[in-house]
Amino acid sequence: MSPRALIRAHRRAETRRWRRRSRLAAAGAAAGAVGLGFAGSASAADFQVSTNLDSGAGSLRAAVIAANGDAAPDTISFTGAVGQIELASPISITAPLAVNGPSSGQVKVDGNFNGIFSLSMAPGGADIEFSNLALIDAALAIEAASA
C-alpha cells in the first residue's frame, strides 16, 4: 500500500472506532433514560445549597464536589441561598449534573472573571443542565479527557 492509502485506511479505522464509542455511549444513555441502568451503577442524588459562601458545608462548591463522587446524573437545588455567590476559583464538574435555581434571577453565580465551571468529561460527554441560574463575569473551560 502507498503511504497515502495507509493514511486513509488509518482515518477510516479511527472513524469506525469513534462511531462505535458514540453508539455505545448513546445506548448507555438510552438505557439510563428508561431506568434500566447498568449493574452496579450508583443512584442519582439531590444535593442542597443553603449558603452563598464559596466553600464549606451547604455551598455550591461542596454540592458539586459531592455530585462528582459518582457517575449517576445528580441534581443540585437551592434551599435558602439566594442572591450572589462569588467564587474564588472555578468549580470542576466531572459527572452528569443538573443545577436548578429557585426561580429566574434569584441566584447569581459570579466567577470574578476567573471562570465559574471547568468541565472535564470523557469523550461522549455527559449531560449538564443549568436552569433558573444567572452566571455572571464568567469564563468556561471545557477539557476532553482521553479515552
Q: Domain spans of the chain?
A: 1-38, 42-144
Is residue 112 within 8 Å of residue 88, measured between CB atoms? yes
pLDDT of residue 25: 53
Q: State percent of the chain over pLDDT 70.
A: 71
pLDDT at 39 over 70: no
Is residue 105 within 8 Å of residue 81, measured between CB atoms? no
For 78-101, what is the mean pLDDT? Answer: 86
Give the pLDDT confidence of 43-83 residue by residue, as tens digits: 788 999 999 999 999 999 999 999 988 878 899 999 876 78
Q: Find the range with the poorest average confidence among 1-15, 36-50, 84-98, 108-122.
A: 36-50
Higher pLDDT residue, 129 or 125?
129
Q: State percent of the chain over pLDDT 90.
A: 21
Q: What is the pTM of this model?
A: 0.65
